[in-house]
Structure 1
């Protein structure tokens, strides 16, 4: 469907999930394009965000928080480690697990990436002035919480 066709559609005729999916896909395209200079992608940026929220996070917890399988997280962490963005160390309490933290380069990359996301927010949310940004963030956070709760209740680990 073209942009012009989409503009003509009645928003009430579209499921909210479809609109959220389209927004997420569009954001991923935008972010991936702008992250090319950092040689990372949106998924790796998501991992950097998670790692930045807690020091020495293990890979299993990162996988759980990101909703990504452990193998994919291990591969992404390895790429981030090879680029000098994260530091992976064996957990002294459980030698089968690795603790992961951001390197200085990883912190700098994350900070620069946040400006990319802020630019997108300004262009998409602030410019259109359809809803106050803080209200939108609160609503989206609640949607995320509800989605996680539904998935924890109804979806079994695969």
Structure 2
């Protein structure tokens, strides 16, 4: 059987380098790679609970709680108690948080442009398609693992 190359190294390099780029790019705004993704999520779906975000990002509740607390302290989001479940908080954007959307999208676009600038349009399309396919496969595998352990997870 032919040995497959270990892709984790390359994925890790892309991920870690990207996170350092985002930390540097967002430093003037007080946010880093642990925070911007929550703002991006809220641009699409505001007023969800922290639990929903934890499940979406496949992270534990404490990780989400720390990120949301930091964003709240910086004035980007605020929380309201969920009237249907008083134990849960729904998260909303402030005006300051909404104003960050073009900044975040610009940084993400710049990163994508740097990473794909040497690729043809067809290669870019292929890369994005393959990465999405691989991520879905990984998420499905994780989902099956959750079900085996009796953990509920919404995507």
State the match for 2:118 in structure 1: 128
**Partner residue in 1 for 2:96:** 105
How many residue pairs get aligned? The number is: 145
TM-score normalised per structure 2:
0.85
For residues 54-133 of structure 1, what are the structure 2 equivalents within 5 Å?
A: 54-125=45-116, 127-129=117-119, 132-133=123-124
- The alpha carbon displacement at 1:110 in A equals 2.7
Aligned to 1:46: 37
TM-score by length of 1: 0.83
Cα drift, residue 51 of structure 1: 2.0
1:20 paired residue number:
11
Shift of 1:20: 1.1
More helix by share: 1
- Bigger RCO of structures 1 and 2 (CA < 8 A, at least 6 apart): 2
Offset, 1:13: 7.0
**Structure 2 unaligned spans of 5+:** none
**Structure 1 counterpart SS, 2:83:** coil
Tell me, in whole angstroms, the C-alpha distance in 1 between the residues paired with 2:22 and 2:144.
Answer: 31
Moved over 3 A (4+): none
CA contact (8 A) 1:87 1:102 kept: yes
In the alignment, structure 1 segments of 5+ residues that lack a partner are 1-11
Residue 47 of structure 1 contacts residue 66 of structure 1 at CA under 8 Å; is this kept in 2?
Answer: no
Is contact 1:52-1:101 (8 Å) kept?
no
Q: 1:140 aligns with which of 110, 117, 131?
A: 131
Instruction: Tell me the SS of whatever aligns to 1:101.
Output: strand
RMSD between aligned residues = 1.9
Verify the 8 A CA contact 1:58 1:100 in the aligned structure 2: yes
